[in-house]
Every structure is written in C-alpha cells, then in structure tokens.
Amino acid sequence: MKGPIYIMWLRQVKKYWRSKPRMIGALGQPLLFLLAFGFGFGPIFQKAGGGNYIEFLAPGIIAMSILFTAMFTGIEVIWDRRFGFLKETLVAPVSRTQIMIGRTLGGATVSFLQGIVVILMSLLIGFSITHWALLPGAILFMFLIAMLFTAFGTAIASRLDDMQAFPLIMNFLIMPIFFLSGALFPLEGLPKGLELVIKLNPLSYGVDGLRGTLTGAFHFSLMLDLAVMLGVTLAIGIIGTWLFSKIEV
C-alpha cells in the first residue's frame, strides 16, 4: 500500500500532465520571452559589453517558468475545497503535514519538469551550457525554486476561499518577485534601494545559482545562493504546513 505522501504527489503530477492546454500555455510565455527579449535586446546588450544576451537570459527564463507553474499550483487547494475533495482528504486518518508534503512535492515535480523542457527549448534557440560538471547543481537549484514557490503558493491558497482572488494576488506577488530577481538584467551598478530589494528577494539567489551553475557567471556565490535557498525553502515549507493544518472545510 502506497503512503499518503506518494498518493498526493502522484495525484498532483497526473492532474497536470493530463491537461494538454495547460502544458502548452505554460510553455508559451517562456518561449515568447526567450525569442522577443533574447533576440530583441540581444544587440543592445552586446553593444553595452554584456556579451551574448541569450546566455544571460535563459537561466532567468527557466527560473520564471518554474516560478509561475509552482505558484499557481496553489489554486488547486481552493478548487479542491470548493468541490469537496479537500474535505474528503483532510478527514482521512492521515496527518495534514503528510498531505502538505505530498502536494508540495507533486507541484514541485511538475514545475521542475517544466523547467527541464524550457532548458531544452533554450538549447534549441542558441543557449549553451558552459559548465556541464555543475549541471547537478543547476538541477538542485531548479528543484529548490520549485519547492519554495509551490509551498508559498499553497500557503497563500490555504488562507483563501475565493478562486477569483487567488490569481490576482498571485500576479501581484509574482511579477515583482520575477522582475526584481536579476532574471532580465545584470545586478551590477544598480541604485542602492533597488539593490537592497533584490537582495531580499529569495528568487534572486535561485536565479544567480542557476545562472552560475549553467554558465559560470555568479553575482553572489555558490555557497551563499545555496544557503539562502535551502534556508528560505525550509522556512516557507514550515509556515505553509502550519497554515495548511489550520484549514477549515
């Protein structure tokens, strides 16, 4: 007999990969960013002495794909609550911590695989991995980003019961997190206030770790990126589990 964590993980993965329009839609935005930004701003970036913009941009777009997919898996908590599945799950003789872990692992797996697909798309349009020996590190950063923001999205959804409010709140949070992470622009020479905000953004360390392990260009350092991502992921996971345990259905 499979455990509750495995069952919730498998349910999350199956639900996503059965939805073909959702899969295609999730890949459309990263592809648009890669093509429009990569080739549109590429000449300007190169003239400014930044080198190949595709090489700089691709890790940020990979992180973006994981971020968006991971955060929006939280809406399934509201969906399940509205249609009664969550009540059936929560009254089962299983701890809510196990349910939360299973849901988070499932959502993280889906968004991680989405990131793998975006890496393959990036390679097809001209991105190249400079440090193949560090590829396991890139995979680790991708999974940490997926875990962090799946737990974050689920934590927020645990306090909401309005399906229309969730996308609005997510967009309000996702866009600043993404644009202020260094995914689209270098972090050198920024105003002090903006630099402080970027340093407080956990995705900045995920993007930097991913970019560094794929291309060798770190802004912070590998150990700092890894320490911040591990610490914040653990903290958000604990908070999300506590909030999920307080759900009333």
Instruction: Give the per-residue pLDDT at 1.
Output: 40
CB under 8 Å to 207, separation ≥6 — which residues?
Answer: 59, 60, 63, 181, 182, 183
Instruction: Give the per-residue pLDDT at 158.
Output: 82
CB 51 within 8 A of CB 199: no
Instruction: Tell me the domain boundaries of the chain.
Output: 4-245
Give the Å distances, CA to CA, from 152 to 40, 113, 204, 245: 33, 18, 16, 14
Closest C-alpha among 129, 101, 117 to residue 8: 101
User: What is the C-alpha to C-alpha distance for residues 199 and 157, in angstroms, rounded to an integer?
Assistant: 26
For the record, the structure tokens of 116 come out as 């793998």
Instruction: Give the per-residue pLDDT at 16.
Output: 65
Q: What is the pTM of this model?
A: 0.90
Instruction: Give the per-residue pLDDT at 103.
Output: 84
For the record, the structure tokens of 229 come out as 């991502």
CB 218 within 8 A of CB 208: yes
Closest C-alpha among 66, 101, 14 to residue 181: 66
CB 176 within 8 A of CB 169: no
Low-confidence ranges of the chain (pLDDT < 70): 1-2, 4, 12, 14-26, 50, 83-93, 248-249
